[in-house]
Amino acid sequence: MTDLELTWLRSWLEVVDSGGFARAAARVHLSQPRISAHVASLEKALGCPLIERRTRPLTLTDEGKRLLPRARSIIAAVDDTVSDMRSTTSVAGRLTIASFASASSEFLPPLLKRLREKNPLIEVGVLDGDVQVIESTLSVRRAAVAIRPYRPEPADHALLRRPLWREPFVVLAPLGHPILAQESIGLEEIAQYPVITIGDPLDTPILGYEASLAMHSSRLEPEVGIVSHQPTTLTAMVRAGLGLGLVNLLAATMARRDGLETRLVDDPHLYRDVGLWWHSERPLSRVAQAFIDLAVASERPPGTLPIPD
């Protein structure tokens, strides 16, 4: 029988997930020649090439595609076995979570505290980003689980999700702004002013995705505004008088709001559904499953609603 070393499989998976030998070496803190030697040893042991070295970007051979799900299952089984042997009452291991800033701020801290109280040997990393970054980290297996809005729909159809909450949107305005005279504000009133939203500045020049979709559904054309990645930047822009902030509730909650007031937005098209996501082609470790079970059973953030069936 052929002897295979786990380090060879781990190195090969890092190359696949990173998209190259150099990035894999940097992620696992090994030299690139060492990573290349591991992959070469694995290919020699199996008697077949696993990576097309003449093509860019990195492409798997047919044998590599066959091995990929089996290699992930082997590594997951070994990691779970180690976790079981180390502790009979808790799980151990490393968990990387991808999320967006306001969910990381308003939902993750108490959840991770409970997770660590039950499983003190767990190591946790949190990667914040927009929806594209979150999807990418799941697709290349850099994160095991993610908290991500439903919209826009992921391009990777192998992602699975569980519902967490529905989040209303609010408008942020400087103190004394005339729009604050109303307790509940519609998009028609908001569209009369420059609008500042959270989104991808390289993709949408005027509005973030959800705000743009709601404005389009209501056949409204707002004034040209500003798109920012971060809630703290958005509130600073609103405070400077550059426009009205139109953001999901948790983003407004986490940001500094001195000199500002908030009002709920009254529009049936404007909301954010948030779910827990993972990749169907990657076996879930016991650590990831423990996190998913706890997250689904946790209370929703204040002010949010259940997602209708």
Give the rounded distance of the alpha carbon of 33 from its chain centre: 32
Half-sphere exposure of 140 (CA within 13 A, CB side): 18
Residue 167, Cβ neighbours under 10 Å: how many?
26
Beta bridge partner(s), residue 26: none
pLDDT of res. 84:
67
DSSP secondary structure code for residue 260 in this structure: E
Pairing of strands 159-174, 194-198: unpaired
pLDDT of res. 61:
95
Residue that has been written with the tokens 């500042």 in this structure: 196
pLDDT of res. 88:
58
Beta bridge partner(s), residue 148: 275
Let me know: does 89 contact 273? Beta carbons within 8 Å: no
Tokens of 287: 């650590």
Beta bridge partner(s), residue 273: 166
Instruction: Give the Cα separation of 269 and 230 in Å (integer).
Output: 23
Give the rounded distance of the alpha carbon of 143 from its chain centre: 8
Tokens of 178: 């005339």
Would you write out the chain's pLDDT as a tens digit for each of its 309 residues? Answer: 457 899 999 999 999 988 899 989 988 889 999 999 999 999 999 999 999 988 888 899 999 999 988 888 788 778 777 766 766 567 878 899 999 999 999 999 999 999 999 888 888 999 999 898 999 888 877 889 999 999 999 998 999 999 999 999 999 999 999 999 988 899 999 999 999 998 877 776 567 888 888 888 888 888 777 888 889 999 999 999 999 999 999 999 999 999 999 999 999 989 999 999 999 877 788 889 999 999 999 999 999 999 998
Let me know: does 6 contact 78? Beta carbons within 8 Å: yes
Q: Which residues of 125-153 are buried (b: 16+ CB within 10 A; e: fewer)?
A: eeebbbbebbbbbbbebbbbbbbbbbeee
Tokens of 228: 């920012």
